[in-house]
Structure 1
């Protein structure tokens, strides 16, 4: 029998067919054959597997700073924190031999499921053509998110002049593979991502999914991920076009002042969330002190900004021995980990950035101020202004950093893409245990190393340098 993703989803294969008694009959050796369309619907209902992202990478960005000696001692006291320390130091090896990268496992487990749907639903029985196309469209949105996240974690930032040869990720588009597992190019990944999303926007998805259905892809989510993809490709006209299409469908903003003295909504009640892709119950959920914020980021906030008031706390709130700095603590408000799914604010920020880059600085600032007004108490907001489009772009990018701080890999991926522009290229330093670590623009350390265990099953999987 052929191996089913044994190389990367080794530990996850058992979970792939979670509760499969209601899903499939295994009628041929090594192949799952769900015959009826409804079974593919059931497979996509498994949000436990599909509602996942790659969360650990946030620690590597310049948003995070481990400043307290007691914090350093705590992080080095147990092996469970070691991957975060290694990420923070941009080490050549993050995981020890034999250890799994569980974020990676989760995403490839989800990929296995959606590949089954994409490859087989159109030939299933007892479903209408429209139902099959829509189910396939949902799976394509999930797959695009998975590939976009992984290629930006393990591959180089997109560059039209080099991406055809830059090593990307293992790009499975079918639920079965040969034993010879290799990385394809960054361009290959983006080609599949764009193809999936362009197909999905015309597949009959619901315009919006919210509430208990927020983990199910919608048409707004497909457009939003297209906007994100084109932004990472630095194709700003198409990023703008798709951000506007997403906002034309879903544009509700929450007023943070409503939650200063009231419970902050979970993702099921978050009106700004277009598609849930959270980090699950990770170590970071229960140890938010790992997301202690850099002074540079903290000092960029107006202290009346309710994102500062609600989403950050003094580090001493978590441990009296942590006497320095502030920590990203949104998890403490709703008990949920960080979300990397597309949101209304992200679309507004993409729109504003693209407008500024196109020379429409005034329109860019109007979009930013529309967002920022919902981040301050009534009567305390002062509109931002810009002297020209270049100044508008600088202010939009600063606002993007504040709005998307500490979550979803946004800052790390932004650093990678902005390093391609000399005026925004940045050298980062992290201090840890008396040592200083430096990350130069476009360093190889921007490509996360694969866990050594995967080379036992995929000896031709090329490691990042």
Structure 2
């Protein structure tokens, strides 16, 4: 196998296991027959390969602030935490020359497998056309999620006037590789994402997957990712339409008051979760200081808000030397990594934002209050109001930040898209080790740098500025 395959196709585990052969050439304990539809179902059963996201981007956002001197000393001295510190400082280089980007590797491993299914399942044997189409639809949802996440991590924010020339990501759509590996455009990525998701909603997917099956794509998840995609494209009418379609299928909210004295739900029990996408490699369960929250974010909370009460903790709880601040601590109370997949609450926030942008401020606030009621004790809840649609939009975006804090790259991607609007463009600062780092709106640093090792094996892979 060519050496660059291991790194630039980023199929890492998939390459090692599958080599350069098709999955259908593999038999499992002599039981599976090559080229049968059942093979592709088994390939998608390995949720560990698909249930992940690019979680390191959370550290780069203005949600995070390393405020404790002891914290910065410890982080600065640790080789393990060095990449997270570099994300925090928006460094030109995140990884050492010989290091791989485990977040990106994991997602391209997943992509390799999804491409096998998408390209081969419809030609497989001993399965009905409906079965094959649904299996392909699942893989298309996974691929759309991968491309949407990666293009918003490494590419520019979508801008209809420049997307056709803005650098995006490497778009593998087959399980084979060209030696001349180059990045495509942002528009190309979004074209594939939309095509995959529009195919998926008509592919015969189950309406909802929950419990042990929440990592498997459903029709609700395909609509939800369409809503997210159109939001990032700033196509608000279509974002609203698809958020409403997702909510028409799945709309149950958790009542946080139920969890004050009971365990917070894991993903298997989380009624709001539409599709699980874990922050696998970047799990901070044992390093909560990485998700120390900024004062700006913390001060935006009503202290009776149960998201504040349950999902954040004083930094001093984790180290007696930490004297200030609070930390996002959801992983500690669930025992699981954070989620970047779509949820009912995200769809409600998209719906409310689009309503406010369309001039329906009252409808937007009604949707936000429906969500907020489940985030407070009933006796302490006061409905939020807005003076007009513009005020409603400001309040919806603030609510979105609180609800989606610390997970899934949501805030980082929101900063990128909102920088396109002068009234929401924001300069952010991070302080580390006595140095102040500043990130201007639309800065080139909003495109994460590729790990240097990949250029060794793909010399024509274009760098971010």
On whether the aligned pair clears a TM of 0.5, the verdict is yes
User: Secondary structure of the equivalent of 2:8?
Assistant: coil
> How far is 1:21 from its partner?
13
- 1:453 Cα deviation from its structure 2 partner: 0.6
Equivalent in the alignment of 2:154 = 154
In the TM superposition, what is the alpha-carbon distance from 1:279 to its structure 2 partner? 1.0
Shift of 1:17: 3.2
**Partners in 2 of 1:4 and 1:117 — Cα distance?**
23
2:170 matched to which residue of 1? 170
**What residue number does 2:455 align with?**
455
Whole-angstrom CA distance in 2 between matches of 1:53 and 1:322: 30
- 1:246-395 superposed matches below 5 A: 246-280=246-280, 282-395=282-395
Residues in 1 aligned to 2:309 and 2:111: alpha-carbon distance in whole angstroms? 38
RMSD over aligned CA atoms reads 1.9
Contact 2:90–2:445 under 8 Å retained in 1 = yes
Which residue is 2:57 aligned to?
Answer: 57
1:98 corresponds to 2:103: no
Q: Secondary structure of the equivalent of 2:93?
A: coil
Q: 1:435 to 1:329 in 2, by over 3 A?
A: same
Q: 2:14·2:112 contact (CA, 8 Å) conserved in 1?
A: no
Residue deviations 1:440-465, cap 9 Å, x none? Answer: 00000000000001011111000101
On the 8 A contact 1:5/1:13 being kept in 2, the answer is no
Distance 2:227 2:10 in 1: 33
- Tell whether the 8 Å contact from 1:3 to 1:177 is kept in structure 2 after alignment: no
CA distance in 1, matches of 2:17, 2:45: 13
The residue aligned with 2:123 is: 123
Partners of 1:281 and 1:336 within 8 A in 2:
no
Structure 2 runs not aligned, ≥5 long: 28-32
Shift of the alpha carbon at 1:96? 0.8
Q: Could you tell me how far apart the structure 1 residues matched to 2:232 and 2:360 are? A: 20
Q: Distance in 1 between matches of 2:206 and 2:442?
A: 40
Residues 426, 10 of structure 1: alpha-carbon distance in 2 compared, 3 angstrom cutoff: closer
**Deviations for 1:329-365, whole angstroms, at most 9, x for unmatched residues?**
0011111111000000000000000000000000000
- 1:6 is paired with a residue whose SS is helix
What's 2:445 paired with? Answer: 445
Q: Alpha-carbon deviation of 1:177?
A: 1.4
Q: Distance in 2 between matches of 1:374 and 1:77?
A: 42
Deviation string 1:18-55 (CA, Å, 9 cap, x unpaired) is 7999964269xxxxx95000000000001111101000
Contact 1:301 1:402 in 2 (8 A): yes
Q: Distance in 2 between matches of 1:157 and 1:224?
A: 19
* Paired residues of 1:221 and 1:274 also in contact (CA < 8 A): yes
Cα deviation 1:106-141 (Å, max 9, x = unaligned): 000000000000000000000000000000000000
- Which residue does 1:196 correspond to in 2? 196
**SS of 1:384 mapped into structure 2:** coil
Distance 1:22 1:2 in 2: 16
Cα distance in structure 1, aligned partners of 2:188 and 2:357: 27
User: 2:427 matched to 1:435?
Assistant: no
SS at match of 2:165: coil
| Residue in structure 2 matched with residue 209 of structure 1 by the alignment | 209
| Structure 2 CA distance for aligned equivalents of residues 97 and 21 of structure 1 | 30
Contact 1:34/1:40 (8 A) holds in 2: no
CA distance in 1, matches of 2:189, 2:35: 30
1:108 and 1:21 map into 2 onto residues whose CA distance is: 17
Contact 2:11 2:108 survives alignment (8 Å): no
* Aligned-pair CA distance for 1:7: 3.5
Q: Is the 8 A contact 2:4 2:457 kept in 1?
A: no
What's the offset of the Cα at 1:153? 0.0
Q: Name the TM-score, length of structure 1 as normaliser.
A: 0.96
**Residue of structure 1 in register with 2:112 after alignment:** 112
CA separation of 1:305 and 1:15: change in aligned 2, threshold 3 A: farther
The alpha-carbon deviation at position 286 of structure 1 amounts to: 1.6
CA deviations on 1:368-391 (whole Å, 9 max, x unpaired) are: 000000000011000000000000
1:41 is matched with which residue? 41
Q: Distance in 1 between matches of 2:462 and 2:129?
A: 41
Task: Compute the displacement of 1:4 (Å).
Answer: 8.4
Aligned twin of 1:30 = none
Output the CA distance in 1 between the equivalents of 2:50 and 2:143: 10
- When residues 34 and 200 of structure 1 are mapped into structure 2, their CA distance, relative to the original with a 3 A threshold, is farther
For residues 62-73 of structure 1, the aligned pairs below 5 Å read 62-73=62-73
Q: Using a 3 Å threshold, how does the CA distance of structure 1 residues 11 and 178 change in structure 2: closer, same or farther?
A: closer
Instruction: Tell me the number of residue pairs that the alignment of Structure 1 and Structure 2 aligns.
Output: 460
* Distance (whole Å) between structure 2 residues aligned to residue 88 and residue 367 of structure 1: 34
Q: Check 1:20–1:312 CA distance in 2 against 1; reply closer, same or farther (3 A cut).
A: farther
* Secondary structure class of the residue paired with 1:76: helix
| Residue in structure 2 matched with residue 25 of structure 1 by the alignment | 25
* 2:30 match: none
Match of 2:218 in 1: 218
